[in-house]
Amino acid sequence: MSAHSVLHIDDTPMTDKYSVLLPTYNERENLPIIVYLLEKTFSQANIDWEIVIIDDASPDGTQDVARALINVYGEDKILLRPRSGKLGLGTAYIYGMQHATGNFIIIMDADFSHHPKFIPQFIRLQKQHDYDIVSGTRYRPGGGVYGWDFRRKLVSRGANFLASTMLRPNASDLTGSFRLYKKHVLARLMEVTVSKGYVFQMEMIVRARQLNFTVGEVPITFVDRLYGESKMGVSEIVQYAEGVWRLFVTV
Amino acid sequence: MTRATEAATAGAIALVIYIAAWIGVIPLPQTFYEQILPVLPWWSLVSFGAYSLGSIGYHLMTFEDCPGAYQELMGQIQEAKIELSAKGVPIS
Ligand SMILES: Nc1nc2c(ncn2[C@@H]2O[C@H](COP(=O)(O)OP(=O)(O)O)[C@@H](O)[C@H]2O)c(=O)[nH]1
Ligand SMILES: [Mg+2]
C-alpha cells in the first residue's frame, strides 16, 4: 500500500452526478434532439448531469451542432471532446470516461434507439440495490424493439440465445449498450476488455460476471435508428459468433 | 474457470458415468440397460435441440413491436425541433 492511500480518506461525492457518454459519428440530425430529451429528463427528475460528446471528426458537421448546443446549455453541461479520426467505439468510451466528472457513467447511442426516459428508472434501481451496473434489456417483458422485420428478430433472438447459453452472464441483453455504471466499475471493465465492435458490449457484461460486479436490469423499448443505417449482415454475424467463442474459452 | 472449462468438465463427468453404466460398473436393471442406455445420448441431443428451438420460437412470438414507443418518440422529436430552432440550434 502506498503512502498516498493513508491520505486518501473519502472520494465519494456528497451528491451523485451522472455523466452521459455520447459517441457520435455523423449524428448531426440526431444529436440536438437527444440532448434536448436528456436535458428535459434530467431537469424534471432533478438529477445532476453532464453530457460528454465524443465525436470522431464526423464529416457532416456534428461538431458545429454540438457547439450550438454548448451555447444553449452551457459548457459545464455539454462537453465536446472531439477526436481527429474515426477511431472506433471502444476507445471512444475510454476517452469520454477520462473527461467525465460524474461518479456514475451512462452509455447510450445518439440515434434515439436508447430513450432518455428510462434513465430515471436505471438510477432508481441502482440506488435501491446499490448495483454496480444497470443494463437496459430489450429481451425481458416490458422491453422490445420497433422497426425490426422477422429476419432481424430471428437473428437477434438466435444470437442472444447462443451467447446466453454459452456464457451464462447475469444479464439478458448482452449486446445492448444502454447501461449505467459506477465510474470505477466501468474503468475496471475497460481495463480488462479487449474485444472490438459488437463483441465489446458483450465482453463488458461477461467480464462483469467474472469480476463479481452486480447487475440490475430495466426493460427498455428500442426504436431502431430512424436516420442513417444500422448494419447487421453476414460479416457481423460471423464476427459475433467468433466473439462468443472467444469469450467462451477465455472468460 | 472459463465457461469452456466448465462445459468440458461437465461433459467429461457425464461421459464417465455413461461408460461406467455401459460396462456394468454401475449395477442397473436389465430394461434400463437394454432400452434406455443406448438411446440416452440421442435423447439428450434431441431434447436440447427442442428446448433451443422452443425457447427461440417462444421469444420470437412474444417479441414486442413497441409501436407506442415509436409514436411517442415522433411527437417528442417534433417538439424538440421547435424548441431547439427557437433557441438558435441549426435543425435540418
Ligand atoms: N465517436 C464515434 N462514435 C461512433 C463510431 N461508430 C459509431 N458511433 C456512434 O455510436 C453509436 C452507435 O452506433 P450505431 O451505428 O447506431 O451502431 P448500432 O446501433 O450498433 O448499429 C451512435 O451514436 C454512433 O454515432 C465511431 O467510430 N466513433
Ligand atoms: Mg444504433
- Given a cut of 80, whether residue B10 has pLDDT beyond it is yes
pLDDT tens for each residue of A78-133:
999 999 999 989 899 999 999 999 999 999 999 999 999 999 999 999 999 999 99
Percent of chain A at pLDDT above 90? 84
B7 contacts in A (CB within 8 Å)?
Answer: 166, 248
Pocket test for ligand 1, best of A20, A21, A22, A24 (most atoms within 8 A of CB): A24
- Given a cut of 90, whether residue A136 has pLDDT beyond it is yes
Q: What pairing do the DSSP bridges indicate for beta strands A17-24 and A48-55?
A: parallel
**A204 found inside a domain:** yes
**Reported confidence tier of residue A10, pLDDT bands at 50, 70, 90:** low
C-alpha A34/C-alpha A106 separation (Å) is 14
**A11 found inside a domain:** no
Ligand 1 atom with least separation from CA of A231: 21
Cell of A93: 468510451
**A177 found inside a domain:** yes
**A8 found inside a domain:** no
- What CATH number is associated with residue A239? 3.90.550.10
Nearest to B65 among A68, A144, A158 (CB): A144
In B39-58, the residues whose Cβ lies within 8 Å of chain A are: 52, 55-56
The owner of cell 447487421 is A232
Lowest mean pLDDT among A11-20, A24-33, A72-81, A200-209: A11-20
Interface ipTM: 0.88
Give the pLDDT score at B26: 83
Look over chain A and give the mean of its residue pLDDT values, rounded to a whole number.
Answer: 92
A37 contacts in B (CB within 8 Å)?
Answer: 76, 80
What's the average model confidence in pLDDT over A171-183?
Answer: 96
pLDDT tens for each residue of A151-168:
999 999 999 999 999 999
Residues facing A20 on adjacent strands? A51, A106
**A6 found inside a domain:** no
In B56-85, the residues whose Cβ lies within 8 Å of chain A are: 56, 59-60, 62-70, 73, 76-77, 80-81, 83-84
A157 contacts in B (CB within 8 Å)?
Answer: 56, 59-60, 63
pLDDT tens for each residue of B45-88:
999 999 999 999 999 999 999 999 999 999 999 999 999 999 99
Q: How many Cβ atoms from other residues are within 10 Å of residue A80's Cβ? A: 19
Indicate the SS3 state at residue B2: coil
Name the residue type at position A100.
A
Cβ contact (<8 Å) for A36 and B84?
A: yes
**A154 found inside a domain:** yes
Burial of B87 (0-12, 13-18, 19+ CB in 10 A): middle
Ligand 1 atom with least separation from CA of A86: 27
Q: Which residues are within 8 A (CB) of A230 and not within 5 positions of it... i.e. 6 or more apart?
A: A111, A113, A224
**A96 found inside a domain:** yes
How distant is the Cα of A121 from the closest Cα of chain B, in angstroms? 16
C-alpha B92/C-alpha B79 separation (Å) is 14
Name the residue type at position A92.
A
Nearest to B80 among A37, A141, A250 (CB): A37
Tell me which DSSP letter residue B34 carries: I
Number of domains in chain A: 1
**A1 found inside a domain:** no
Q: Which residues are within 8 A (CB) of A197 and not within 5 positions of it... i.e. 6 or more apart?
A: A88, A89, A239, A243
**Alpha helix positions (H), chain A:** 3-7, 30-45, 62-73, 89-99, 119-129, 150-167, 183-192, 198-210, 234-250
Question: How many CA atoms are closer than 13 Å to the CA of A35, on its beta-carbon side?
Answer: 33
Range of the domain at A107: 17-250
